[in-house]
Structure 1
Amino acid sequence: MAAAASPVSVTSSPNYRTNPSQTRKLPSQSWPPTTPTRFSQPLSSRRTSIAGAAQSMKQSSSSAQPNPEVHLSLDAVQRFIHLNFGNWTGTFHQFDSQGNLMHKISTKLAAGSYGEDELISLIQTLYIKQPPSTTSFSGIDDDEAEWSEYKIKEINMFTMDKYQQIGFFPKERAFALRYQTAGMLETVLRQGVLGEDDIGEESPKNLKLPSRQPSIVCENCLYSLEKDRRVRAFHVMDPKGILDMLLVFLEDRGSTAPIPPTFDDSQDYGDRIKPFLGTWKGHSITKRSGVYGATLARADTVAVLEINKDGQLIQDIASTLEGRDITTNVHWTGTMSKNLVTFDGGFQLILLPGGMYMGCPCDVAKCVQESKSFHLEFCWLESPGKRQRLVRTYDVEGLAVSSTYFLESRFTLDKPFASRITVILAVQYLHSEDLNQKQNFLLIVLNMLSKFF
């Protein structure tokens, strides 16, 4: 597996043990910390127009138009800092590759900025709540809890484009970025699970740590459509390109609630898939990286996920480029085992609590060997009728090709509308010269006919 050649994007201690000077008591009255540095100038009101469709990137590259705003401008950097700015209280969740919850850790994050103009940087300090030491007295309350302090490497105009390869959607309030190490994530686990009892073992008992040489560490961040909340979801792939673990921060900004937000992980396996079943209609916005032409594209999307009479999951995705009569169709058949959905072709969805799933190839190395691009996906269904998705696509070298944001609403087909859709698909079937595409059109048409006629 060829890993992305980039400098380390997160700071980490060489010996993987927290420096004692970094660990300190953080009484509740000490939070939030001193107000972070404010911007030296107001943020511009200019908005970047972005668009696209992940499933049709290759077909759409010729139609997407170069856009000078794709490269991160000062305005985009300021917007990114403003989006992250503030004091965040939340919970860090560790899931194994099967979607089973392993650990929950309380966290706090203070994000501010320093510098002006092109030199402005995002500065973040993460506080990790430590468990009581096995040698300490019992009965310590939250006000006296020990918190480990971890300073995340700064983000600025230079690092965003060159190192993190950030795919940023200012208006949609979403972003994807990369890391080359999992040092920050390992620190959260060590300090949040072991605390002062950490003796620096490479493989502590009862604690699974991410690989120190991961092939990919990808963060996808989606902000709530309803409140000042966000989810930061991390895919960690091991050196062989196999999913190592999934890590999720659920955070509220400016919250003073005594109990941080967390997930209800008591759902039965079958209940986790139910919210995603049905028809979803929306649009996608794709931002391709500068290496691949620095283009933007927009598409209308329809995604259908159903369980057939044999218990198989059937997924059909149609993406139509805006302004062009070009539709790309993808048909997948999959099986479900507990929290894991595996589709033909080697792509899997890991179902998580909280209306979320994360998707990735079953074997990234196989994609690389076959010279195929691959993608990682994060979906958040915050309410029953609306969901957001973020897809990060990579080439065989592990470099980010594009980032795609989806906003979709649950759609109920009535018979008249289904009739129109069936006619349109039937016409496309008759005019298509691609055999695979004809088969996909035919399957969708037959599915429509079986439902309504």
Structure 2
Amino acid sequence: MKTQWENFIQNLGEWHGSFTKISATGEILKDTPSILILESLDDQNKTVRLTLSRYNSFTKTPESKVDELVTEYQTLGRNLLFFESGAFSKGTIQIAPFSINGAEFGLVTKNRRLRLVELFNKDGDFDSLTLIREKQAGIDTPENPPLTVDALLGKWQGEAITMYPDLREPNIYPTQMELNIDNTGRLVQEINFGNTNPKTFTSSAKIEGSILHFDQSSQPVKVLLLPGGASATFPVKIELRKSLFFELGWLVEPELRQRIIRSYNDKGEWESSTLVTEHKIR
């Protein structure tokens, strides 16, 4: 198994993209062009420098630069986990009252990255959502279309890798998800996962345009279908003594989807991060 640092440096490169601020209803509020350079400062990749520049124009000239952040890394924080692909989840270690809570995710495939930041305010209410779509410099891959319910319908099979903050051996197991529309117009989701004693969860959501309201449990969840084939999943409200999760999904190709999930128990403790890679089989 690779080290966390080896997983982290899968993100090295010059990434061109934008930071898109999105409302709780999926409305695009602001789009800020960006260039992020993640570079090694030595032959052994022991020190890595991050330079993030943001611009007020997609021409990205020196005159249009509005800010720049430079950070160097030799170690990684306890609040994040990287997978072998370079995918990661970062965020709050302990959900706490009267604190800003949330998560950041990154998914990497070939020459593209998709990142997402979900934040909640001190009252536990939604604060902000930022979607970051990036491509390696010089790559002109077309942008994925906005995600739709129709693109998700069907049966998906795949594999999940669950990693833990204490860096114990990851848990790897098969997954299956089926999404259909019932006769009332609601989206029905059935998820099966696990090797021995597999578990099954069924839930349903009200469809409201590009928003899915999973509103029938004690912890209601909202899913926003976003540009670039992305989806953001988060609790309607963070409540103490209730387990919760945050998730980023990415329809990389019409029949290939990745999801990364950050889970917390009912004590508010960060329990795990899970990367799911699934293929549509029908």
TM-score, normalised by the number of residues in structure 1 = 0.56
In 2, Cα distance between the equivalents of 1:142 and 1:300? 43
In 1, Cα distance between the equivalents of 2:142 and 2:104? 19
C-alpha contact (below 8 Å) 2:246/2:261 kept by paired residues: yes
Counterpart for residue 129 of structure 1: 55
In structure 1, stretches of 5+ residues that fail to align are: 1-46, 49-74, 133-140, 181-212, 266-270, 413-453
Counterpart for residue 387 of structure 1: 257
In 2, Cα distance between the equivalents of 1:312 and 1:256? 39
- Deviation (angstroms), 1:254: 2.5
Out of 66, 74, 78, the position equivalent to 1:156 is 74
Out of 159, 166, 169, the position equivalent to 1:283 is 159
Counterpart for residue 309 of structure 1: 183
Matches within 5 A, 1:411-450: 411-412=281-282
In 1, Cα distance between the equivalents of 2:142 and 2:72? 26
What are the superposed Cα offsets for residues 88-137 of structure 1, whole Å, 9 maximum, x if unpaired?
A: 111211111111111111101111234687x93332111111359xxxxx
C-alpha contact (below 8 Å) 1:386/1:410 kept by paired residues: yes
The reply to whether residue 94 of structure 1 matches residue 21 of structure 2 is yes
- Structure 1's 399 and 124: CA in aligned 2 closer, same or farther, altered over 3 A? farther
Give the structure with the higher percent strand: 2
C-alpha contact (below 8 Å) 1:110/1:124 kept by paired residues: yes
Give the structure with the higher percent helix: 1
The reply to whether residue 241 of structure 1 matches residue 124 of structure 2 is yes
Structure scoring higher RCO (CA < 8 A, sep ≥ 6) equals 1
In 2, Cα distance between the equivalents of 1:356 and 1:340? 12
The reply to whether residue 113 of structure 1 matches residue 31 of structure 2 is no
Count of aligned pairs: 275
Counterpart for residue 275 of structure 2: 405
Out of 148, 157, 164, the position equivalent to 1:272 is 148
The reply to whether residue 330 of structure 1 matches residue 195 of structure 2 is no
SS of residue matched to 2:194: strand
- Deviation (angstroms), 1:249: 1.1
- Deviation (angstroms), 1:361: 1.1
C-alpha contact (below 8 Å) 2:145/2:229 kept by paired residues: no
What are the superposed Cα offsets for residues 301-337 of structure 1, whole Å, 9 maximum, x if unpaired?
A: 110111111101111101122xx2x111101021111
C-alpha contact (below 8 Å) 1:91/1:262 kept by paired residues: no
Q: Greater CA radius of gyration, 1 or 2?
A: 1
C-alpha contact (below 8 Å) 2:56/2:64 kept by paired residues: yes
SS of residue matched to 1:354: helix
Out of 177, 186, 189, the position equivalent to 2:90 is 177
Counterpart for residue 340 of structure 1: 211
Aligned partner of 2:163: which letter? K
Aligned partner of 2:186: which letter? Q
Aligned partner of 1:156: which letter? Q
Aligned partner of 1:77: which letter? W
Counterpart for residue 222 of structure 1: 107
In 2, Cα distance between the equivalents of 1:149 and 1:129? 7
In 2, Cα distance between the equivalents of 1:101 and 1:396? 33
The reply to whether residue 77 of structure 1 matches residue 5 of structure 2 is yes
In 2, Cα distance between the equivalents of 1:338 and 1:274? 12
C-alpha contact (below 8 Å) 2:7/2:86 kept by paired residues: no
In 2, Cα distance between the equivalents of 1:298 and 1:78? 20
What are the superposed Cα offsets for residues 339-366 of structure 1, whole Å, 9 maximum, x if unpaired?
A: 211112112211112222111111112x
C-alpha contact (below 8 Å) 1:91/1:251 kept by paired residues: yes
- Structure 1's 142 and 315: CA in aligned 2 closer, same or farther, altered over 3 A? closer
Following TM superposition, where does structure 1 have runs of at least 4 consecutive aligned residues deviating by more than 3 angstroms?
A: 113-117, 141-145, 152-156, 260-265, 395-399
In 2, Cα distance between the equivalents of 1:78 and 1:383? 26
Q: CA RMSD for the aligned pairs?
A: 2.7
- Structure 1's 284 and 263: CA in aligned 2 closer, same or farther, altered over 3 A? closer
In 2, Cα distance between the equivalents of 1:142 and 1:83? 25
The reply to whether residue 166 of structure 1 matches residue 80 of structure 2 is yes
What are the superposed Cα offsets for residues 178-230 of structure 1, whole Å, 9 maximum, x if unpaired?
A: 269xxxxxxxxxxxxxxxxxxxxxxxxxxxxxxxx862231111112xx3110
